[in-house]
Structure 1
Amino acid sequence: MAVCLEDAGFMKKGEVGPWYESTDTTYKGSFPVNTDGGQLSGGQPGLAGGFRHVIEGSRQIMGRAGPRQVPKNDLAMVNG
């Protein structure tokens, strides 16, 4: 995840460690990451990848993510 954030330009290479330490990445935080728990929470390998990320991003934008809904939901980035 860290490399993906750097490669997407959210911070310069090598700055992701301090960024993670100072940023709340929970679904209630200022920069939500892996709002559905990420691949470790995704079940078996076939389900952990694939289209699951797009579904979660869509749910967030539509306001249908239930208890893990992010407060600002007009944009989602999906990678994987």
Structure 2
Amino acid sequence: MLAFLSWKTADVLYGIGPAGDLNHSTDGGTTWKKVSTVPGGPPQALTAVGAEHVLAATQDGVHESKDGGKTFRKRLAVESSGGH
């Protein structure tokens, strides 16, 4: 099951599951291959900026991959306020 889907072009789709597993499809979503697990906890959003450029927001920040999701670098940290 995929929680979020994103694509920049029709032939390259990315999907992320509730546990942070990033998947990739090159056939319009018919078949999927796990690429990696995005760090930072459960995903909040996913954006395919380009065929190899992906942004994933998780509980602890925004993570960026420029190699099709194989590796991620934290671009923005998010801290929880812990209450009001």
Q: TM-score by structure 1 length?
A: 0.27
TM-score w.r.t. the length of structure 2 is: 0.26
Which structure features the higher share of strand residues? Answer: 2
